[in-house]
Chains A and B, each alone.
Chain A
Amino acid sequence: MIKLRTIDTHQVPVQVFEGGAGEDIVVLHDAGGFTAEHPFLLALAAHYRVHAPLLPGYGDSAEAPAIRDMLDVTLHTFDVVEALGLRRPLLIGCSLGGMIAAEMAAIAPNDVERLVLIDPAGLWLDAHPAPDLFALLPHEVPAVLFHDVDKGAKILTRGGDIEDPDFLIPYLINYARTFGMVGKFLFPIPDRGLKDRLYRIKARTRLIWGASDKMFPLAYAEAFNAAIGNAELVIIPEAGHLPQLEQPAATVRAIVGF
């Protein structure tokens, strides 16, 4: 059972999904956000005490105009961990969340001991240019994000007709709030200099990568693996950019015991 609560931070009140019992972990979401029914959170909650904060603008949470860049969001996320009353929890980040988690570990290497990065954003390889997430049409998204494109399309749409104004306006508002926020870190190119800071990471790091990630193909995994001192790479078969969504059980297996 995952529950939502709101905690105060310097910037804005932050919504956090929490559930399960065991070791405290902090999980940072990808651009799609989390819900109480997210299969990854449910699977993690069978092993851990899960704390999954939403970025400002996700769900019902207030936007935070004062968070403008990578340093702002990195420090804000430390504020969230502090407000949760946690000390050096296992930090897990997916895609954009992985970029933020890696940045936290690089900026404050003594405050992050264990790090799980799942297909993190944050690097740019000229030989493997990532598709432009911000120019994709809704029907083009599944092919970029998922190994099983048909299944992915079903996960993403969850009903709703883009031609229906009653659906369209709330959809556009949510899209503007959430992707407007992540655009601060990912637009137009998801590189905010992390590559120059990865050397600072002291945390024991597990890199988890979808074998058929078309957003950041395996070359990106190799680049992270080479740049972080104490890292190991686990590949999840039959998963694209979002193994936590496409193969939640296998992804959690790759984390448990770490």
Chain B
Amino acid sequence: MRLTYFALMPWRYLPDDFREKHRSVWVDIDRRLYDPAKGHVLYNEYMDLLEHAETLGFDGLGCNEHHQNAYGLMPSPNLIAAALARRTSRAALVVLGNSIALYNPPTRVAEEFAMLDNISGGRLVAGFPVGTSMDTNYTYGQIPALTREKYAEAHELIMRAWREDEPFAFNGRYTKLRYVNVWPKPLQQPHPPIHIPGGGSVETYDFCIRNTYCYSYLSYYGYVRAKALMQAYWERVAELGADDSPYRAGFAQVVCVGETDAEAERLYAEHVNYFYNRCLHIHPGFADAPGYRTIKTIKMGALAQYGRRPKWENLTWKNLLDDAFVIAGSPATVRDKLDELIKTLRVGNLYLLLHIGDMPADKAMHSARLFAEKVMPALRRHWPDYAGDGRFWCHPLEHRARPAPLAQAQGVA
């Protein structure tokens, strides 16, 4: 089992009447709600939490890319990963990921990921999302119906740039380069393991299976609702004749751990409510630009999460737990639910959203510590038959360079 502490980095100060006074947390979020002095503290606290997660024994530290979004303060996850590369020494840096259709030229991603892999000594797990419609179309202006074609071309370019040692000309429709010759090379050869965040586009299944990438379903709607989608993925894996290693799949889950079920509710209910109530308050007109999804995907009816959305402004803690949007409670409760999640979805990679909404750092730390001490050991018992499957995780150098102590550096100056 690979357990990644996944950070969203939400803005913690959306007002109580956010839903009533503002139409969207994303794209045209009111900039007057942002206070850079508070941002300074938040970034540092969130990075503390990530760094602490390594100490707690998490396998990976996860970050992702969102733009103009008050629940995701990481337009550039690579900046966060770069800082983590220096302050941590063991955990994988799981960057889920860089939206490769947005970079011009996309070789920029090949370069930056190679830098991260070099700096960290081969600890990078690289993600290539298409990106949400809010990010890709409405914020970054990509034409919806052309986004997937541009993504596919960017992917081809990046993979060739990582694999080929001779400079080559790339005559793409969206990118034309006379000399592709990316320097530095990734430390992991021929390239770092790749996780593809998917949101229910059926084309992504085949793409992952054919390329031996991990299909990572990032959802805020819990594992019960994810079952049909993941089942369809595993059916496709079988159809294409690929092996059934659970490491081919990953899932993101909101998790809150208390000493008891009652403590979990007392400590975390308000922050979970903040997340579902305010952070997911997205103008429906930004949710799904026409042309962004393929007709095939729409026909699959996989749009439940954007179309007929549950109305969570009225959801209680009990509703959220009953529907398993959130897994919360005592270590035993959380363990049982996660066992069920891991088995029913057949996932080897779990991205744990242990900080949620406007949760203060001390509570997030408490939850993560209980998770690490009392839940994590049990989860590690899963998938012993696939322990040797190294295709979907990073392979760091055995002996890695460490940052010099600061005092020494000051001495030099």
Chain B associates with chain A: yes
Min CB gap B119→A, angstroms: 36
- Chain A contacts for B303, CB-based, 8 A: 172
Contact of B144 among A165, A172, A183 (CB under 8 A): A183
A68 interface hit (Cβ, 8 Å): yes
Most B CB atoms within 10 A — which of A181, A183, A184?
A183
- Contacts A134-B290, A168-B307, A172-B298 hold; do A180 and B144 have CB atoms under 8 A apart? yes
- Chain A contacts for B137, CB-based, 8 A: 134, 187-188
**Contact status B307-A172, CB under 8 Å:** yes
B299 interface hit (Cβ, 8 Å): yes
Q: C-beta contact mask, A149-183 vs B, less than 8 Å → 1, else 0?
A: 00000000000000101001100110111111101
Partner-binding segment picked from B271-279, B281-289, B388-396:
B281-289
A48-77 with Cβ < 8 A to chain B? 63, 65, 68
**Contact status A175-B143, CB under 8 Å:** no
**Contact status B290-A137, CB under 8 Å:** no
A136 interface hit (Cβ, 8 Å): yes
A127 interface hit (Cβ, 8 Å): no
Q: C-beta contact mask, B118-149 vs A, less than 8 Å → 1, else 0?
A: 00000000000000000001100101111001
A256 interface hit (Cβ, 8 Å): no
**Contact status B289-A183, CB under 8 Å:** yes
**Contact status A173-B138, CB under 8 Å:** no
- Contacts A172-B303, A173-B295, A176-B291 hold; do A188 and B138 have CB atoms under 8 A apart? yes
- Chain B contacts for A172, CB-based, 8 A: 298, 303, 307
Contact of B291 among A136, A163, A169, A183 (CB under 8 A): A183
Per the bound structure, the CA–CA distance linking A177 and B290 in Å amounts to 8
Q: C-beta contact mask, B292-324 vs A, less than 8 Å → 1, else 0?
A: 110100110101000110000000000000000
16 pairs of residues in contact across A and B, judged by CB atoms under 8 Å: A132-B285, A136-B285, A169-B299, A172-B303, A173-B295, A173-B299, A176-B293, A176-B298, A178-B290, A179-B290, A180-B144, A180-B145, A180-B291, A181-B145, A183-B143, A187-B143
Interface residues of B (CB under 8 A from A): 137-138, 141, 143-146, 149, 173, 283-286, 289-293, 295, 298-299, 301, 303, 307-308
Interface residues of A (CB under 8 A from B): 63, 65, 68, 132, 134-137, 140, 163, 165, 168-169, 172-173, 175-181, 183-184, 187-189
